[in-house]
């Protein structure tokens, strides 16, 4: 999606319309928000019907791990935003460094998430596990949503990482430069989307009291 | 290339003969030209349509007699599921936008292509992948899906048939639909020719614009919902499974939050085609242009808020039922605005009864019947009596087939000369219109009566008292199916042997009629500058007034 640039003709002379490309990207981001919106509706319905059990289940999550991951993602949004300023000033190496830092932070987020999931699974809390099935229905629903929503988010983190690595490649070979950086902007917009969804997931799962 | 050709004094080749960097079939399946992609959609879509229509005819044949006629009950279940999935996700939803939107919309607004041509090609590939996956799922071990196209839980979680491939197919097709919508909105916003203001756009483009927004905003919900059913089957998460605390009614809400707006994705471009074709053959400026344009947006907006009228008997508060019933009634206002404006356009026009107009006239009558029965279904008291009967089947087919399907046939005949450069033979086309219209009404009007008498839908067997009506409906399906075959054969023969059509055989006033048939690769030599609205028939109207 983000590597798509308006090419109005197949016959050589290309016409560029960065505002249009960004409009397309924003529309795509809306669809992503609505995709998660469906899950947020389900969360709202079940939290309304099983409020007390949701709080009980939320105690099982490690708030420190969640906080660390929030800080990591917020920092990565900062670095990717700074990379846009860097490319606007024509600083190629700085751009590469900042996008690279974003990818490293994304990896750190996933690593942290992996250990968190692993910890839960070892403790016998995963969909369909014999331990979980005997718990109250609200707890089953809470962890079902926890795995689905953070899992889908993690998938988006991975997609975002791939997009950013491709952007680094484009910066390196000069496709993205001071005069043309709409692809990097689109990639960064996607990354901010990944960030903002986590900003909602974090309180909904970790800060229930 | 254009310059080189002009230098030699030769006319620019049409897009079928334009040079391509790929050879053979790859010049098609790797082309980013919106016209080629439109043709790709046309052929893949009509193939799926014929398969699904054949399934429909076989189902009708099964209903000829009570008990078993030709197929087993389980086969019947998979037939109506596959018929629904294919007709909805592979034919009616992509239908008009993907074929005629792709081919005509950029030309109609004076552009050389859509805004994201490569994304456009990706949409077609996703469409094809989704379609093939749906077909392949039939032959995988486990058997074809038997849930109905609605995939209602908990049955879709428990059945042993291949639900997951069918879900994934619908998911991929949804993604394709989103990308097309996104492409169209961006194209209409950014690529209109100089002077092509919003209120000079052809009404078909307006309807595509409204449709594209619904595609963008509603489709992600079905995406996540179907994905959750698949996850539920894989891991037993419990989100919809009542034995784990999940709520199956929540699934129905989420399903219809998309699938009701989706019926407006299906019908809006059909309404646009009527508004587009009617003025050409009435030789008259469309009546109430702005009202028709705004009513598309109004239908798209209000139509997004009525989903729970599919669930009146499922269990809902009385307040909820009243609200959704009221909103359902509201949709009829913008729909009626369109119908009245169409009739006013015909009034005092100098009407040319060409084939596209014949289909449009059938459309208007059938859309009215479909609309009125829709109001009956939206009324709470009647709904409880006729819900889940053949009445619903009749209503749905009157709107979707009698409306959008006929709109697609009209568009196919209207734009056939532009797309192919050939004119179709009129006489067989009129015969096919007659057969399709008669067959359609015999088949589906009978269903209203059947449903009103209490024949439930999706049932394999029935009481003997219903047999007469079932026989009439089945005979209707034969007439309808033969009519469709006559139409397709006529168009295929005309493709080879038809007479050459000029640039403007119908006397249309929109931009696509100003370019050669078929159009050259880049549509326009010079980007046009637009100075008037789309349906300027003042010269004809002056003559008519003088009479």
Q: Which residue of A has its CA nearest to B189?
A: A20
Length of chain B counted residue by residue: 547
Answer yes or no: is A136 within a domain.
yes
- pLDDT of A65 > 70? The answer is yes
Say whether residue B352 is in contact with chain A using an 8 A CB cutoff.
Answer: no
Task: Judge whether B25 lies within some domain.
Answer: no
Cβ contact A10–B219 (<8 Å)? no
Q: Looking at the domain assignment, is residue A86 inside a domain?
A: yes
Asked whether the beta carbons of B257 and B169 are under 8 A apart, the reply is no
* DSSP states along B225-286: HHHHHHHHHHH---SS-GGGT--HHHHHHHHHHHHHHHHHHHHHHHHHHHHHHHHHHHTSPP
First-last CA distance in chain B? 50
pLDDT in tens, B526-542: 889 998 888 888 877 77
Q: Is A51 on the interface with B (CB under 8 A)?
A: no
- CATH number at A196 reads 1.20.120.80
Contacts of the segment B323-329: beta carbons below 8 A, 24+ positions apart: B325/B378, B325/B379, B325/B380, B327/B302, B328/B374, B328/B375, B328/B378, B329/B375, B329/B378
Closest alpha carbon to B409 in B277, B498, B501, B499: B277
Task: Return the sign of the alpha-carbon dihedral for residues B335, B338, B343, B344.
Answer: positive
pLDDT at B20 over 90: no
Q: Give A46 to chain B, closest Cα distance, Å.
A: 8
Residue B4 falls within a domain, yes or no?
A: no
pLDDT in tens, A179-204: 999 999 999 999 999 999 999 999 99
pLDDT classification of A6: cutoffs 50, 70, 90: very low
In a domain, A12, yes or no: no
Q: What is the pLDDT of residue B24?
A: 85
Q: Is the pLDDT of residue A5 over 50?
A: no
Average pLDDT over residues A61-71: 94
Instruction: Identify whether the C-beta of residue B451 lies closer than 8 Å to the C-beta of residue B391.
Output: yes
In chain A, the residue whose alpha carbon lies closest to the alpha carbon of B244 is A137
pLDDT of residue A3: 35
Q: Which residues of chain A does B190 touch, with a Cβ-Cβ cutoff of 8 Å?
A: 6, 17, 19-20, 23
Binned at pLDDT 50, 70 and 90, residue A130 comes out as: confident
Closest approach of chain A CAs to the CA of B215, in angstroms? 9
Q: Is residue A34 part of a domain?
A: yes
Which of B22, B33, B36, B115 to probe by mutation at the A interface, max A CB count within 10 Å? B115
Q: What is the DSSP string of B26-37?
A: HHHHT---HHHH
Whether chain A has a CB inside 8 Å of the CB on B119: the answer is yes
Number of domains in chain A: 1
pLDDT-derived band at A2 (thresholds 50, 70, 90) equals: very low
Q: Kindly state the average pLDDT of the residues A85-103.
A: 96
Number of domains in chain B: 1
Q: Which helix (H) or strand (E) holds B317?
A: none
Cβ–Cβ below 8 Å for A24 and B183: yes
The DSSP-derived string for A64-79 is: HHHHHHHHHHHHHHHH
Q: Are B96 and B404 in contact (CB under 8 A)?
A: yes
Res. B547 pLDDT band, cuts 50 70 90: low
CB of A208 less than 8 A from some CB of B: no
Contacts of B50 (CB under 8 A, 6+ apart): B484, B488
Residue that is written with structure tokens 């609605």 in the block: B150
Q: Do A6 and B116 touch (CB under 8 A)?
A: yes
On the question of pLDDT at B482 being above 70, the answer is yes
pLDDT value, residue B536: 85
Q: Give the pLDDT score at A8.
A: 38
Nearest to A45 among B220, B225, B250 (CB): B250
Q: Is the pLDDT of residue B397 over 90?
A: yes
Establish if A147 belongs to a structural domain.
yes
- The overall average pLDDT reported for chain B is 93
Q: Which residues pair with B520 in a beta bridge?
A: B14
Residue A6 lies in a domain: no
Contact B99, B41 (CB under 8 A): yes
CA B451/CA B462 separation, integer angstroms: 12
Residue B314 DSSP symbol? T
In a domain, B2, yes or no: no
% of chain B residues with pLDDT over 70:
97
Query: How many residue contacts between A and B have a Cβ separation below 8 Å?
Result: 120
Q: Is the pLDDT of residue B6 over 50?
A: no
Q: Is A105 exposed, middle or buried (0-12, 13-18, 19+ CB in 10 A)?
A: buried
Q: What is the pLDDT of residues B144-155, one digit of tens each?
A: 999 999 999 999
Question: Is residue A2, in this structure, part of any structural domain at all?
Answer: no
A7, part of any domain: no
Q: What is the CATH number of the domain that holds B203?
A: 1.20.210.10
Q: Which chain B residues are within 8 Å of A140, Cβ to Cβ?
A: 238, 244-245
A1/B119 touch (CB, cutoff 8 Å), yes or no: yes
Is some CB atom of chain A closer than 8 A to the CB atom of B27?
A: no
Convert the pLDDT of each residue in B85-144 to its tens digit. 999 999 999 999 999 999 999 999 999 999 999 999 999 999 999 999 999 998 988 889
Mean pLDDT calculated for residue range B19-29: 88
Domain assignment of residue B205, yes or no: yes
Burial of A186 (0-12, 13-18, 19+ CB in 10 A): buried
CA distance B348 to chain A (A): 42
Residues of B in contact with A193 (CB under 8 A): none
Interface test with B, best of A5, A16, A28, A42 (most B CBs within 10 A): A42
Q: Does A29 touch chain B (CB under 8 A)?
A: no
Q: How confident is the model at residue A151 (pLDDT cuts 50, 70, 90)?
A: very high
Q: Given a cut of 80, is residue B544 above it in pLDDT?
A: no
Q: A162 at the B interface (CB within 8 A)?
A: no
Nearest-5° Cα angle at A197, A194 to A200: 150
Q: B415, B103 in Cβ contact below 8 A? A: yes
Domain with B300 in it? 36-546
B372, HSE (Cβ side, Cα atoms, 13 Å): 8
| Residue B7, domain member (yes or no) | no
Residue B19 has pLDDT above 90, yes or no: no
| pLDDT value, residue B371 | 95
Least confident of B248-252, B314-318, B450-454: B314-318
Q: Distance, in angstroms, between B422 CA and closest chain A CA?
A: 26
Taking the C-alpha atoms of residue B331 and residue B301, their distance in angstroms, rounded to an integer, is 9
Name the residue among A24, A138, A148 with its Cβ closest to that of B231: A148
Give Cα separations from B512 to B35, B38, B205, B516 (angstroms). Answer: 12, 15, 12, 9
Please give the torsion angle defined by the CA atoms of residues B321, B327, B330 and B332, in that order, rounded to the nearest 10 degrees.
Answer: -70
pLDDT tens per residue across span B343-384:
999 998 889 999 999 999 999 999 999 999 999 999 999 999
Reported as a pLDDT band with limits 50, 70 and 90, residue A12 is very low
């Amino acid at each position: 999606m983000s590597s798509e640039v308006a090419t109005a003709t197949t016959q050589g002379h290309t016409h560029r319309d960065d505002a249009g490309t960004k409009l397309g990207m924003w529309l795509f981001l809306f669809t992503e928000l609505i995709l998660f919106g469906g899950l947020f509706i389900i969360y709202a319905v079940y939290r309304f019907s099983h409020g007390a059990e949701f709080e009980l289940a939320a105690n099982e999550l490690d708030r420190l791990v969640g906080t660390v991951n929030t800080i990591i993602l917020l920092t990565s949004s900062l670095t990717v935003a700074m990379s846009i300023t860097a490319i606007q000033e024509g600083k190629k190496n700085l751009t590469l460094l900042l996008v690279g830092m974003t990818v490293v932070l994304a990896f750190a987020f996933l690593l942290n998430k992996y250990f968190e999931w692993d910890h839960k699974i070892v403790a016998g809390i995963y969909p369909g596990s014999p331990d979980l099935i005997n718990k109250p229905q609200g707890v089953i629903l809470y962890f079902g949503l926890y795995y689905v929503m953070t899992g889908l988010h993690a998938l988006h983190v991975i997609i975002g990482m791939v997009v950013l690595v491709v952007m680094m490649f484009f910066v390196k070979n000069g496709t993205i430069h001071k005069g043309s950086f709409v692809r990097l902007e689109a990639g960064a917009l996607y990354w901010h989307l990944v960030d903002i969804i986590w900003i909602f997931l974090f309180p909904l799962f970790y800060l229930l009291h | 290339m254009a310059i080189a050709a002009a230098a030699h004094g030769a006319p620019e080749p049409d897009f079928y003969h334009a040079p391509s960097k790929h050879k053979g079939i790859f010049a098609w399946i790797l082309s980013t030209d919106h016209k080629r992609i439109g043709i790709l959609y046309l052929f893949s879509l009509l193939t799926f349509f014929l398969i699904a229509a054949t399934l429909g005819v076989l189902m009708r044949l099964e209903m000829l007699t009570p008990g078993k006629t030709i197929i087993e009950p389980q086969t019947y279940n998979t037939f109506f599921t596959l018929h629904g999935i294919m007709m909805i996700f592979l034919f009616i939803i992509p239908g008009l936008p993907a074929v005629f939107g792709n081919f005509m919309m950029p030309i109609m607004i004076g552009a050389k292509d859509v805004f994201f041509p490569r994304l456009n090609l990706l949409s077609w590939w996703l469409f094809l992948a989704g379609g093939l996956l749906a077909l392949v799922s039939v032959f995988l071990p486990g058997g074809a899906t038997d849930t109905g196209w609605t995939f209602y839980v908990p049955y879709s979680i428990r059945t042993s048939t291949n639900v997951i491939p069918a879900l994934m197919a619908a998911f991929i097709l949804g993604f394709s639909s989103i990308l097309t919508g996104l492409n169209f909105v961006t194209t209409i916003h950014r690529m209109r020719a100089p002077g092509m203001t919003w209120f000079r756009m052809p009404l078909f483009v307006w309807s595509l614009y409204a449709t594209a927004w619904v595609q963008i905003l509603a489709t992600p919900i079905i995406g996540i919902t179907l994905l959750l059913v698949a996850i539920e089957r894989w891991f037993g998460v419990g989100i919809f499974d009542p034995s784990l605390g999940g709520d199956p009614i929540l699934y129905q809400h989420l399903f219809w939050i998309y699938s009701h707006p989706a019926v407006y994705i299906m019908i809006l471009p059909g309404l646009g085609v009527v508004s587009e074709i009617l003025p050409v053959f009435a030789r008259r400026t469309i009546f109430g242009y702005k009202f028709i344009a705004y009513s598309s947006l109004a239908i798209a907006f209000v139509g997004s808020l009525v989903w729970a009228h599919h669930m009146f008997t499922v269990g809902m508060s009385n307040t909820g039922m009243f609200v959704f019933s009221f909103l359902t009634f509201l949709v009829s206002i913008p729909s009626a605005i369109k119908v009245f404006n169409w009739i006013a356009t015909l009034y005092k026009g100098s009407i040319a009864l060409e084939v596209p107009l014949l289909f449009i006239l059938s459309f208007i009558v059938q859309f009215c019947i479909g609309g009125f029965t829709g109001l009956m279904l939206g009324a709470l008291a009647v709904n409880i009596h006729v819900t889940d009967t053949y009445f619903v089947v009749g209503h749905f087919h009157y709107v979707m087939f009698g409306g959008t399907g006929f709109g697609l046939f009209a568009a196919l005949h209207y734009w056939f000369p532009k797309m192919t450069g050939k004119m179709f033979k009129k006489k067989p086309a009129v015969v096919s219109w007659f057969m399709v219209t008669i067959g359609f009404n015999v088949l589906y009007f009978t269903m209203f009566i059947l449903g009103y008498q209490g024949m439930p839908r999706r049932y394999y067997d029935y009481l003997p008292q219903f047999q007469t009506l079932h026989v009439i409906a089945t005979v209707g399906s034969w007439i309808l199916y033969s009519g469709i075959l006559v139409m397709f054969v006529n168009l295929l023969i005309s493709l080879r042997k038809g007479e050459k059509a000029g640039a403007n055989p119908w006397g249309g006033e929109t931009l696509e009629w100003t370019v050669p048939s078929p159009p050259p690769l880049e549509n326009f030599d010079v980007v046009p500058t637009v100075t008037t609205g789309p349906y300027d028939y003042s010269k004809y109207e002056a003559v008519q007034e003088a009479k």
